[in-house]
């Protein structure tokens, strides 16, 4: 199978290692347990929440003149995998250092994963730990159907439900949004 990427053709058969993935990350794919895995299960609701959160984070960094960039579905490396977080924030310092690489060689400082109907909770929490062990400082796990948001750092897990206001704990300090607004 061939994948077109930035006017070049990459054969999925040529991706044999995490290093190959980092050099030419195929769209919609992650490198997990030494094989390419297609990200599946995205719904309209999933995509809408991804866009909402990206917009809110970007608006916050712009209005507070913090700098940095917000990305969706962009590849990064964890200690052992090649992942594509749903939404990710990169600080100005890391943009200056890594802004032009095809794959960020570490986890993003702030990540959000929106749960899809095909995701298993245990696997999602293990993925969050993987991100935290690879340079991520804060991860949001967004559960649209149960209307919950878990915000995890290396030393705490905060739970927010419908009616609550979810806020950042370590990165983009001062940012908050109503759970109902985020999930509407």
The 10s digit of each residue's pLDDT in 104-113 is 999 999 999 9
Q: d(Cα 184, Cα 175) in Å, to the nearest integer?
A: 18
Specify the pTM: 0.88
pLDDT in tens, 133-178: 999 999 999 999 999 999 999 999 999 999 999 999 999 999 999 9
pLDDT in the model for residue 147:
96
Beta strands in 124-171 (DSSP E): 138-143, 148-152, 157-161, 165-167
Find all residues with CB under 8 Å of 140, minimum gap 6, and list them: 53, 110, 111, 112, 113, 149, 150, 151, 152, 166
Q: Is the pLDDT of residue 36 over 70?
A: yes
- Residues 89-127 as b/e (b if ≥16 CB within 10 A, e otherwise) read bbbeebeeeeeeeebbebbbbbbbbbbbeebeeeebbeb
Supply the pLDDT for residue 6: 41
Quick one: pLDDT band at residue 119, thresholds 50, 70, 90?
confident
* pLDDT for 1 beyond 80: no
**Regarding predicted confidence, which is higher, 103 or 7?**
103
| pLDDT interval class at 117 (50, 70, 90) | confident
Q: How crowded is residue 52: how many other Cβ atoms within 10 Å of its Cβ?
A: 18
Please, which pLDDT band fits residue 9 given cuts at 50, 70 and 90? very low
CA-wise closest residue to 47 among 112, 108, 114, 111: 114
Report the chain's mean pLDDT, rounded to a whole number. Answer: 90
pLDDT of residue 12: 54
Give the count of beta carbons closer than 10 Å to the beta carbon of residue 50: 20
């Amino acid at each position: 199978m061939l994948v077109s990427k930035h006017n070049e053709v990459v054969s999925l058969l040529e991706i044999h290692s995490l290093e190959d993935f980092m050099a030419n990350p195929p769209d919609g794919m992650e490198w997990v347990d030494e094989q390419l895995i297609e990200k599946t299960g995205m719904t309209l609701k999933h995509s809408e929440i991804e866009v909402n959160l990206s917009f809110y984070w970007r608006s916050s960094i712009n209005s507070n003149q913090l700098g940095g960039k917000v990305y969706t579905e962009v590849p990064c490396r964890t200690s052992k995998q090649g992942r594509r977080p749903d939404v990710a924030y990169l600080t100005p310092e890391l943009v200056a250092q890594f802004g032009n690489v095809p794959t960020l060689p570490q986890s993003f400082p702030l990540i959000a994963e929106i749960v899809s109907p095909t995701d298993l909770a245990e696997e999602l929490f293990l993925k969050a730990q993987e991100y935290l062990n690879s340079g991520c400082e804060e991860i949001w796990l967004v559960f649209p159907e149960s209307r919950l948001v878990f915000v995890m750092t290396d030393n705490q897990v905060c739970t927010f439900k419908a009616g609550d206001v979810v806020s950042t704990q370590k990165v983009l300090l001062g940012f908050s949004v109503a759970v109902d607004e985020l999930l509407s």
